[in-house]
Amino acid sequence: MSARATRRLMTIIAYLLALVAVVVTLFPIFWIFTISIKSQRDAFAMPPVWVFKPEWNNYLEIWQQAGFGQAFRNSVVITMAGVVLALLLGIPAAYALNRMEFRGKRLFVIWLLISYMFPEFLFIIPMYVLYQQLGLYDTQVGMALVYQVFVLPFTIWLLRSFFADVPVELEDAARIDGCTRFQTLRLIYFPLTAPGISATAILAAIWIWNELTIALALTFDVSKTVTVAVAGFRGYASIDWGGMTAASIVSIIPMLIFAAFAQRYIVEGLTLGAVK
């Protein structure tokens, strides 16, 4: 067999394996989706039914039960507030880390790295006690704030690498022309690093939206998030497959939209976070 034929064969095999990987990746989600639009009888049928008449009432019912609608709204608010807060705090901090000298800088950087490593409950229990005293327990504000423990270091870290790509000369030129630091940030950094800032915001949003551990401990009722609401179906896993699958699909959809539109940014953010 010639070298070219071998290479062609290898490519075909690569495509076949990639296809297998895609099927294994997507089939579970597809199957969960079909269960969510099956009638109760079809959902539990064994052998499973592949052809059936779709029913959408699970999707209507979840909004009425177990506070799912409220939880969904809470997650939207907490995610947006959390991301905005992280960017407001993170952008100036990342800029300062790149372009300014200050005492304790090294310690600050080390802390940013270390806080990613700490297990959640190390923070959760003290925050639980503090929030009970301050009246922040089970509030949207409290959640947007407490998420900064992971989101802020991560945001600063990513933005720092994006900002590092901005040429110093450009900034110096602007400074000489009389720009203040805030103006250089606004007129030079924002336009040049807009993709990087978006990538950071998207990754932070995905992280907050999907977070369970902290939300489980620090919310109870009025501010519980969508993940906590979905976890509420856990005890009924053997009974209410319809509600559980519909709730899961509904909570995945916003993230899938992100994945579809911002795939490149997400990849960039993930790799940058890990490689740099």
Partner 1 sequence: MASRQDLRSGFRERNLQKALGVYLYIGPALLVLAVTSIYPVIYSVVMSFFDWEWGGKVSFIWFGNYLRYLSDRSFWQVVWQTFYFTIGAVSVELVLGMALAIIVNRLRFGVGIVRTLLMIPLMVSGIIVALMWKILLDPTLGIVNYLLRLLHLPTSVWFGAPGSAMPSIILVDTWWQTAFVFIVLSAGLRSLPREPFEAAEVDGATSWQSFRYLTLPMLKPVLLTVLIFRTIDCLKVFAIIFGTTGGGPNMVTESVQTLAYRTAFKFLKLSRSMTLMVIFSIIILALLLIYMRVGERETVREGGSR
In the region spanning residues 185 to 214, those forming contacts with partner 1, defined by CB under 8 A, are 206, 209-213
Contacts (CB under 8 A) with partner 1, residues 135-194 = 145-146, 148-149, 152-153, 156, 181
Contacts (CB under 8 A) with partner 1, residues 66-125 = 85, 88-90, 92-93, 95-97, 100-102, 108, 111, 114-125
Structure tokens at 22: 């895609």
Least Å distance, CB 170 to partner 1, is: 19
Give the residue with the Cβ less far from partner 1, 194 or 259: 259
Least Å distance, CB 30 to partner 1, is: 10
Which H or E element spans position 87? helix 68-99
Give the residue with the Cβ less far from partner 1, 191 or 235: 235
Residues counted in the chain: 276
Least Å distance, CB 152 to partner 1, is: 6
Give the residue with the Cβ less far from partner 1, 105 or 173: 105
Three-class SS of residue 24? helix
Scanning 52-60, 63-71, 164-172, 265-273 for contacts with partner 1 by CB under 8 A, the matching segment is: 265-273
Give the residue with the Cβ less far from partner 1, 26 or 170: 26
Instruction: Please state, as a whole number, how many other Cβ atoms lie within 10 Å of the Cβ of residue 102.
Output: 8
Q: For the chain, how big is the Rg over CA atoms in Å?
A: 24
- Does 131 bind partner 1 (CB under 8 A)? Our answer is no
DSSP secondary structure, 92-156, as one string:
HHHHHHHH---TTHHHHHHHHHHHHHS-HHHHHHHHHHHHHHHT-TT-HHHHHHHTHHHHHHHHH
Contacts (CB under 8 A) with partner 1, residues 14-73 = 14-15, 17-18, 21-22, 24-26, 28-29, 31-32, 35, 44, 46-48
Following CA atoms 17, 19, 20, 26 in sequence, which dihedral angle do they give, to the nearest 10 degrees? 150
Provide the residue type at 121 as one letter.
F
Least Å distance, CB 203 to partner 1, is: 10
Place of tokens 């372009």: 99
Give the residue with the Cβ less far from partner 1, 51 or 100: 100
DSSP 235: G
User: Which residues, at least 6 apart from 226, have a Cβ–Cβ distance to it below 8 Å?
Assistant: 68, 71, 72, 74, 75, 209, 251
Q: Rounded to whole angstroms, how far apart are CA atoms 30 and 37?
A: 11
Give the residue, chosen from 130, 168, 173, 187, that forms a contact with partner 1 under the rule CB under 8 A.
130
